[in-house]
């Protein structure tokens, strides 16, 4: 009696109020992301920015405003960082798996449309075809079919009857039901899915991590070196305070590769624009680099290697003289079903000319409960569907044929015929099996070529699907996936089994969303750089966890929202283009990065040496700005845009240090030599600074020349323009850059030192590996010390 009363009236307003007071309401349970203010503060208030701002304020304080020009690089770094994070925040804030704004409920006997956020526990909801399920509920009256792609990853309708649960985020495909809400708010399935993906993923760029590591090592050294240099300038070199401040700042800004941060951001931004022209949206600039480093690629079957549609692969007649084509043409003409299977039938037999004038006495649409559909004509009835449901006990006669086809990855359906009419909505008598129809997924035309490309590049492919593992395995084999015969049914795997399964198997079937996430985590735990493609909401958690996630434009809003890359043309063949763009960026940045690291190395060496020498530091910030602009920043940016599709190998830091170390040592030697020449030939301090600036610029241009190889006409013209730009600035604006005319003996000395510096570079590069191993070892030890100190500080902080 109570059930009947509830079905008629639903909850009373008093019951609704009680549930609201208890917090049993479907309020927004999504975790908040950072505010714009927090993002701005987070990008401004960093040690890197703080250090540079302090240095800039110091030179401004002593009245040398032109020497603060280096702050422009810091400004652009901050702007780019804020822009990227705010854009990511907006994408995440839009993420929601529930798109329906209102829900239909019954309260006090009246049907009401209310916002989904006002649903309470126990509410009676009415759901019909096309409606989204806004809160987990249980059917208490009626029958329906539900699209449960959230749970299974497949869009085949699932029948639901009295007592069955329906998960939020799913859609009603057909039928009408009344259902009781059994979970609200954070307990809902959709809310848990959203909460699991609604966070700002930490940037996993190897380049940025490498740069951060360099900055941390420099940070440990820079404060004591600053104190030592300033005290040396005041008490040993007897410089005025303003000159001491300027020379100390010059030493410190040279050590910080701030331009490399900006170069990386600009180059990645350019790559983003280039990919947009190729119909690929990069929602995170640095994901382009990450995809280029991916060594394991997890692919969702549906929508990635297949089109998500079915096609008729073959027809096997079971009655010799039965006109199967004529029967199926008539069937396709009168049926109104809309599902992947019938759409494949319509694509094969839906000929409008042949179907002209064909009328049915009766049609029975497909039902998941019956597993068949039918059409009755004057000549007889045609039935189409699952053979075991149509033939029942007679199915055993054709079971071997069906199972063989299923083992090949086909979906087997039966076309049957009867001279008798349907019994209301039940099967007619005298059914005869006319033909077996083999259905298969349509493999994307570009999939085999793209998969072959990744195999050639040494990328391990994992196919993950909610479909039958045998079917997935066969489809993967047809698409060209290596080891496609190594498959497993994920429904039989425990959480502990997955760690070993990802090592052994290439194909995973019947995978749930939570298992997709576990598979990605297991691969990452084994040191893999994981890429993940997907198009459904069931892929959201795994896409968010992957190092680089790729969604199809034709997929769900949720999948696109959490992905790093979106293929706007839903074309899997675009993937190699993204990889090529990432390789171009990383390889060229490694090459250009040597220019910045060369400056860091020689500045570090000079700062350390001039802490103890009774001589002034040879540079001023404005002079380093001129060198950085003409011999580092401009050529590094232009060289970073040239084509380069070589496979990325080795460590980013080691690769650039191998070139930068010999060059940095050579420049440091040349700088010290110029200071010594000035000291023993009575050259003034201002002329010494000019001499050193010209020598370092000349050696830097030689380094640029070597990086430009193989030389081409445009590179030669570029180098000439750079040298001309430096020379013009020095000759036309000597006061701006604190440069003085050089006497003949100084010019001769400069030529000799430059030639010696070039020779040192060539000599040291031959012994680069031992030198690098020595300094890299020191670098690694410093990094360990920094991490140890940080842990101790955190432990002390936690204790207090």
Describe the crossing of helices 685-707 and 575-610 by its angle, rounded to 10 degrees.
150
Alpha helices in 409-536 (DSSP H): 447-456, 469-479, 495-504, 513-525
596 phi and psi angles, rounded to 5 deg: -70, -40
Question: Distance of CA 259 to CAs 82, 447, 622, 636, Å?
Answer: 17, 40, 15, 10
**364: exposed, middle or buried (Cβ count in 10 Å: 0-12, 13-18, 19+):** buried
The residue from 136, 284, 300, 441 that is catalytic is 300
Q: Are 399 and 338 in contact (CB under 8 A)?
A: no
Question: Distance of CA 331 to CAs 156, 367, 392, 707, Å?
Answer: 21, 16, 22, 70
Q: Are 280 and 578 in contact (CB under 8 A)?
A: yes
CA–CA distance, 118 with 17 (Å, rounded to integer): 11
3-state secondary structure 532-566: EEECCHHHHHHHHHCCEEEEECCCCHHHHHHCCEE
Which among 324, 326, 426 has a CA at the least distance from the CA of 373?
A: 426
Collapsing DSSP states into helix, strand and coil, what is residue 571?
A: coil
Question: Distance of CA 232 to CAs 57, 243, 607, Å?
Answer: 21, 12, 11
CA–CA distance, 559 with 543 (Å, rounded to integer): 7
Which of the 8 DSSP states describes residue 593?
H
Question: Distance of CA 236 to CAs 288, 579, 609, 686, 768, Å?
Answer: 51, 55, 14, 18, 35
CA–CA distance, 507 with 488 (Å, rounded to integer): 6
**394: exposed, middle or buried (Cβ count in 10 Å: 0-12, 13-18, 19+):** middle
**Dihedral (Cα; 779, 781, 784, 785), 10-degree rounding:** -100
To the query of whether residue 17 is one of the catalytic residues in this protein, the response is: no
Task: Spell out the residues 6+ positions from residue 269 whose beta carbon is closer than 8 angstroms to its own.
Answer: 80, 285
Cβ–Cβ contacts within 10 Å for residue 646, how many?
Answer: 9
Which among 709, 749, 587 has a CA at the least distance from the CA of 655?
A: 587
CA–CA distance, 277 with 271 (Å, rounded to integer): 10
3-state secondary structure 337-406: CCCHHHHHHHHHHCCHHHHCCCCCCEEEEEECCCCEEEEEECCEEEEEECHHHHHHHHHHHCHHHHHHHH
CA–CA distance, 19 with 107 (Å, rounded to integer): 13
Beta bridge partners of 157: 147
Omega prior to 710 cis, within 30 of 0: yes
Structure tokens given for 547: 């190092």
Structure tokens given for 731: 């000759």
Structure tokens given for 249: 């700042």
Task: Spell out the residues 6+ positions from residue 480 whose beta carbon is closer than 8 angstroms to its own.
Answer: 447, 448, 451, 452, 455
Q: Are 373 and 384 in contact (CB under 8 A)?
A: yes
CA–CA distance, 14 with 61 (Å, rounded to integer): 70
CA–CA distance, 482 with 371 (Å, rounded to integer): 35
Indicate which residues carry an active-site annotation.
Answer: 300
């Amino acid at each position: 009696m109570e059930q009947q009363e509830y079905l008629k009236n639903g909850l009373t307003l008093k019951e609704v109020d009680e549930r609201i007071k208890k917090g049993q309401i479907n309020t927004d349970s999504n975790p908040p992301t950072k505010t714009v203010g927090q993002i701005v503060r987070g990008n401004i208030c960093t040690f890197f920015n703080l250090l540079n701002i302090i240095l800039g304020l110091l030179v401004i304080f002593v009245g040398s405003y032109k020497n603060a020009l280096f702050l422009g690089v810091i400004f652009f770094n901050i702007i780019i960082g804020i822009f990227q994070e705010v854009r990511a925040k907006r994408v995440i804030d839009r993420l929601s798996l529930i798109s329906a704004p209102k829900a239909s409920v019954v309260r006090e006997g009246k049907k009401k449309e209310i916002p989904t956020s006002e649903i309470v526990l126990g509410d009676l909801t009415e759901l019909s075809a096309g409606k989204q399920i806004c809160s987990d509920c249980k059917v208490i009256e009626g029958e329906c079919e539900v699209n449960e792609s959230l749970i299974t990853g497949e869009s085949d309708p699932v029948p639901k009857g009295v007592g069955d649960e329906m998960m939020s985020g799913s859609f009603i495909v057909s039928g009408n039901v009344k259902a009781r809400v059994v979970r609200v708010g954070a307990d809902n399935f959709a809310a848990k899915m959203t909460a699991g993906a609604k966070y700002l993923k930490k940037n996993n760029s190897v380049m940025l991590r490498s740069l951060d590591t360099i900055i941390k090592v420099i940070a440990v050294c820079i404060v004591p070196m600053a104190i030592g240099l300033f005290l040396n300038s005041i008490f040993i070199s007897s410089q005025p305070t303003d000159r001491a401040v300027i020379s100390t700042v010059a030493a410190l800004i040279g050590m910080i590769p701030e331009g490399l941060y900006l170069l990386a951001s600009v180059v990645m931004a350019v790559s983003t624009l280039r990919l947009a022209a190729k119909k690929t949206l990069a929602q995170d600039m640095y994901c382009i680099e990450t995809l280029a480093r991916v060594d394991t690629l997890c692919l969702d079957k549906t929508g990635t290697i297949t089109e998500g549609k079915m096609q008729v692969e073959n027809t096997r007649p079971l009655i010799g003289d039965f006109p199967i084509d004529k029967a199926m043409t008539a069937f396709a003409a009168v049926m109104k079903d809309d599902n992947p299977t019938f759409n494949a039938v319509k694509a094969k037999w839906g000929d409008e000319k042949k179907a002209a004038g064909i009328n049915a006495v009766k049609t029975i649409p497909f039902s998941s409960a019956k597993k068949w559909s039918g059409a009755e004509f004057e000549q007889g009835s045609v039935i189409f569907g699952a053979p075991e449901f149509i033939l029942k006990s007679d199915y055993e006669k054709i079971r071997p044929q069906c199972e063989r086809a299923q083992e090949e990855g086909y979906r087997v359906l039966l076309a049957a015929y009867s001279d008798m009419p349907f019994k209301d909505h039940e099967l007619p008598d005298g059914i005869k099996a006319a033909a077996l129809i083999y259905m298969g997924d349509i493999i994307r035309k570009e999939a085999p070529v793209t998969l072959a490309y990744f195999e050639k590049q040494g990328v391990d492919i994992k196919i993950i699907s909610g479909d039958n593992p045998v079917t997935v395995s066969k489809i993967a084999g047809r698409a060209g996936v290596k080891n496609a015969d190594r498959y497993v049914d994920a429904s039989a795997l425990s959480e502990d089994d997955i760690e070993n399964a990802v090592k052994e198997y290439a194909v995973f079937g019947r995978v749930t969303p939570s298992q997709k996430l576990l598979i990605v985590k297991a691969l990452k735990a084994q040191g893999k750089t994981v890429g993940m493609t997907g198009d459904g909401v069931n892929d959201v958690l795994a896409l968010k966890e992957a190092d680089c996630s790729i969604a199809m434009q034709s997929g769900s809003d949720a999948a696109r929202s959490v992905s790093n890359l979106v293929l706007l043309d839903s074309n899997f063949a675009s993937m190699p283009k993204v990889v090529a763009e990432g390789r171009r960026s990383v390889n060229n940045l490694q090459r250009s990065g040597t220019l910045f690291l060369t400056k860091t190395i020689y500045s570090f060496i000079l700062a350390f040496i001039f802490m103890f020498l009774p001589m002034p530091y040879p540079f001023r910030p404005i002079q380093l700005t001129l060198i950085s602009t003409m011999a580092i920043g401009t050529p590094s940016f232009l060289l970073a845009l040239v084509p380069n599709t070589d496979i990325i190998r080795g460590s980013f830091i080691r690769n650039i240090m191998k070139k930068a170390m010999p060059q940095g040592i050579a420049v440091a030697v040349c700088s010290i030599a110029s200071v010594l020449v000035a000291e023993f030939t009575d050259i003034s301090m201002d002329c010494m600074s000019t001499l050193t600036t010209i020598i370092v610029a000349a050696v830097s241009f030689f380094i640029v020349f070597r990086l430009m190889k193989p030389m081409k006409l445009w590179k030669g013209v570029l180098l000439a323009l750079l040298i001309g730009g430096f020379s013009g600035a020095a000759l036309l604006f000597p006061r701006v850059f604190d440069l003085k005319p050089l006497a003949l003996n100084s010019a001769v000395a400069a030529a000799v030192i430059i030639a010696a510096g070039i020779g040192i570079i060539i000599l040291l590069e031959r012994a680069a590996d031992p030198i690098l191993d020595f300094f890299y070892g020191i670098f690694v030890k410093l990094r360990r010390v920094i991490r140890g100190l940080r842990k101790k500080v955190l432990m002390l902080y936690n204790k207090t």
